[in-house]
Structure 1
């Protein structure tokens, strides 16, 4: 029975991974964004749209990095194959905890140019037709490799502390603490790519209200990759920024996308 259940979970995870995700996000969704001192932290991995998605099991062959960082020190996390939620851990230290998850690269094939164009336009790459033609690539039947770089901010106890760059190839760093800052001033963030500011990156903002309604907006970062995200008390947020680059020479895929995601909540008043 347990073996059959594990196989079902594995098949479900692979089926989602193999589907043409196009503009689907991947994120870490804590069960509670604020926990009491000594209370376990539980978080789910999700893939979907509009801040709603299918839960993904813990599958170690799909994970490149899974860690928890507090006060600038990161500790690896290891779950059990098939675990859902994928993350359950006791975090002894009070403060801001940053859950970090990097997937191993996966691929999808675009059977039509329209699918790729739709994805590229949605993520802010309006120059994609010219770039594609300049590389001499076919307009159908080409592959994209994609990797997800997700972070989630959880307040343990009072939740004091700061997010920091964690060395992901691309990431979104919160420059203030959403649990201790002033929401009226917004949340400043910075988009990084290969450790450096990513100028003019498009940030997609998914805001989930207390009634579970979701609004979606986009905001361009400035020249140093920084932006101030408008936030409201009692809301949960998913931020997304995508790098799209040509595949290295000699690879059997045409494009490579790197997805940076950050989830957090703003406490109610």
Structure 2
């Protein structure tokens, strides 16, 4: 790829990442969920709907963090500008690997009221429209900033280990290991905003079968921000939980009036 073609491609990728349609999810999708020790972990960064979407390049201006966490050690994911897959990194040791990706802030402007209504309805922000009206905000021409916080679990070798909080502003934590633990009641997870469990929030569960069939279910987190996610052998999962906050700015001419924060977790259940 020539330099000019590479730069043009990266510019288009940045634009696409910066202007997604509402309710598009963002996730990490490893090309192998279980990899032998001593081999590479290869993963794509994806944006899309229904657990389908194009892969995006390794592009540092688009992310604040991109790391591999194993145990107490966090290692930045290396890469060259424009690399696809976005991650190709030797697995440092056997165990449960946690891939972490946090984007930088992006901004969008709503030109149609129905788009905002659809977003807040889909993500179960029951009071958002009333809050919008109470703040005296217009139905078009207002902006939202957003940031994505993605994690993926990969088994290296036997995959022993545990997911943990890695310091994201909002994150989903698996409370059991999908590669090693028996899960007769499903995979228990907990969702946080800072140090606070997200009691009563919506968790979306995208379940992709081996034949590609997708099932979407929604759960309401309990008082401790927990839920048990039903899982089946051979299936791949994307969990998604979104926060919507006022920015403190009620004048659309002075900046974004809303800020959303998107947490995702992907994993696979072995056959």
TM-score norm. by structure 1 comes to 0.97
Contact 1:171 / 1:261 at 8 angstroms: preserved in 2? Answer: yes
**Tell me, which stretches of 5 or more residues in structure 2 are unaligned?**
none
Post-superposition offset of 1:182: 1.7
- 1:29 aligns with 29
- 2:115 aligns with 115
Contact 2:78 / 2:89 at 8 angstroms: preserved in 1? Answer: no
Query: For 1:264, which of 257, 260, 267 is the aligned residue?
Result: 267
Q: Does 1:197 pair with 2:197?
A: yes
Q: Quick check: 71-80 or 120-129, which moved more? A: 71-80
Query: For 1:255, which of 258, 266, 269 is the aligned residue?
Result: 258
Contact 2:197 / 2:225 at 8 angstroms: preserved in 1? Answer: yes
Distance 2:20 2:205 in 1: 22
- 1:92 aligns with 92
**Tell me, which stretches of 5 or more residues in structure 1 are unaligned?**
none
Name the SS of the counterpart of 2:256 in structure 1.
Answer: coil
Distance 2:143 2:269 in 1: 38
- 1:164 aligns with 164
Instruction: Please provide the CA RMSD for this pair.
Output: 1.2
- 1:39 aligns with 39
Distance 2:136 2:34 in 1: 50
Query: Residues 123-165 of structure 1: CA distance to partner in whole angstroms, max 9, x if unpaired?
Result: 0112111110111111111111000000000000000000000
Q: Would you identify which runs of 4 or more consecutive aligned residues in structure 1 move more than 6 Å?
A: none
Post-superposition offset of 1:185: 2.1
- 2:6 aligns with 6
- 2:71 aligns with 71
Query: Residues 75-109 of structure 1: CA distance to partner in whole angstroms, max 9, x if unpaired?
Result: 22231100000001001210000000000000111
Distance 2:165 2:58 in 1: 24
Name the SS of the counterpart of 1:147 in structure 2.
Answer: strand
Contact 2:233 / 2:270 at 8 angstroms: preserved in 1? Answer: yes
Name the SS of the counterpart of 1:185 in structure 2.
Answer: coil
Post-superposition offset of 1:20: 4.2
Distance 2:155 2:120 in 1: 35
- 1:182 aligns with 182
Contact 1:72 / 1:164 at 8 angstroms: preserved in 2? Answer: no
Contact 2:249 / 2:257 at 8 angstroms: preserved in 1? Answer: no
Query: Residues 165-197 of structure 1: CA distance to partner in whole angstroms, max 9, x if unpaired?
Result: 011000000000000112332000000001221
Contact 1:183 / 1:232 at 8 angstroms: preserved in 2? Answer: no
Q: What number of residue pairs does the alignment pair up?
A: 268
Query: Residues 54-78 of structure 1: CA distance to partner in whole angstroms, max 9, x if unpaired?
Result: 1111111111001111112212223
- 1:225 aligns with 225
Q: Quick check: 123-132 or 97-106, which moved more? A: 123-132
Query: Residues 181-234 of structure 1: CA distance to partner in whole angstroms, max 9, x if unpaired?
Result: 123320000000012211111000001100011111101110110000000000
